[in-house]
Structure formats: C-alpha cells, structure tokens
C-alpha cells in the first residue's frame, strides 16, 4: 500500500510542477483522474498538506475560502497577486514584508514566525472587460485554463 501512495503523491507533485497558476485540491484530483490515475481526493489533500508542511507549495485562499496551491519556486516562498475574476496569478516583490517579519521576530523574541499575505485584484484583461461593457467584470478566461471547476462563476455577481 505504501508504494502506491508514494506514486500517487509523486503524481500530485508532478502535476503541480507543470502548473503556472494556483489550483485547488479538487482540480488536481480531477486532472489526475482524467489521466486515469486511480487516486482518492483524500490522498490528494494529504499530499498537499504534506507539501505545505515541508514548504513545497505556496497557498492562497480564494474568495470562498478554499485553499489553492502552487508549487513554491526554488528560491523560496513568494507572494502572489491573484485575480479574483479569472484566478490568474503573478508573483510580486515583497521584500519589505520579509524584512518587516524578520524585524518583528527579533523585536519580540519569537522564533519560527510565519506569515500569510494575500493580495487579490482584477488583472488587466478582466478589468478591461469591465470597462468595455460598462458593468462589473465578466470573466472570459477560457474555461479549460482553470480546469474543470472554472472560475468564471465567481465573477458574475
């Protein structure tokens, strides 16, 4: 049983490595099943929790509070600006945050201080759509870019 689980976790890591954007556990699960890899959603969650514990992924929450994962780059943890409309993400410079956290740790004597910084907005594409139509943003990101879940529905409100 251990061998199979290892293979499944490796598949989760491989899939994450090939993604440029944040992805939910359900999306990963759907992608793996589509690859005809028999894997349970619980295993996907467990693999992601493990990766998170070891610093292998960056995590953000979407507007519904669901955790989204993205493989952490080799040069350490990053902060991202995530589009609320289409889910596209881009890393942002956050040196000032890291320095601030380091200083807090020194000032308070706390060890292993962790932080979460979440930045969301509307990317240029989604914002342009809103301008053209004179209404709220309506996402036109291709559905398959976001995987099976599709992010567009959250933009309609």
**At its nearest, how many Å lie between Zn ion and the CB of residue 17?**
21
**At its nearest, how many Å lie between Zn ion and the CB of residue 26?**
20
Stretch that binds Zn ion, among 12-20, 23-31, 66-74, 115-123 (CB under 5 A): 115-123
CA proximity to 146, closest of 14, 23, 8:
23
Give the Å distances, CA to CA, from 39 to 13, 23, 110.
13, 17, 40
- Which token pair is 3? 């061998």
Q: How big is the chain, counted in residues?
A: 157
3-state class of 82 per DSSP?
strand
Binds Zn ion (CB under 5 A): choice among 31, 48, 85, 155: 85
**At its nearest, how many Å lie between Zn ion and the CB of residue 120?**
10
Under the criterion CB under 5 A, does residue 60 sit at the interface with Zn ion?
A: no
Binds Zn ion (CB under 5 A): choice among 15, 44, 47, 86: 86
Asked if residue 29 lies in contact with residue 16, where contact means CB atoms within 8 angstroms, the answer is: no
**At its nearest, how many Å lie between Zn ion and the CB of residue 79?**
5
Stretch that binds Zn ion, among 57-65, 68-76, 117-125, 147-155 (CB under 5 A): 117-125
User: How does strand 119-121 pair with strand 79-83?
Assistant: parallel
Query: In sequence order, what are the beta bridge partners of 121?
Result: 83
Under the criterion CB under 5 A, does residue 155 sit at the interface with Zn ion?
A: no
Interaction site with Zn ion (CB under 5 A): 83, 85-86, 123, 126
């Amino acid at each position: 049983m251990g061998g199979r689980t290892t293979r499944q976790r490796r598949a989760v890591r491989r899939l994450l490595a090939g993604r440029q954007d944040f992805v939910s556990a359900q999306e990963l699960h759907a992608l793996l099943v589509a690859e005809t890899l028999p894997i349970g959603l619980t295993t996907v969650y467990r693999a992601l929790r493990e990766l998170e514990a070891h610093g292998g992924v960056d995590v953000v929450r979407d507007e519904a509070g669901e955790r989204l994962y993205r493989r952490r780059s080799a040069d350490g943890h990053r902060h991202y600006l995530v589009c609320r409309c289409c889910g596209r993400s881009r890393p942002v410079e956050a040196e000032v945050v890291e320095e601030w956290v380091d200083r807090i740790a020194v000032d308070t004597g706390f060890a292993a201080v962790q932080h979460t910084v979440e930045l969301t907005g509307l990317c240029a594409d989604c914002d342009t759509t809103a301008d053209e139509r004179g209404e709220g943003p309506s996402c036109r990101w291709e559905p398959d870019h976001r995987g099976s879940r599709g992010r567009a529905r959250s933009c309609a409100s």
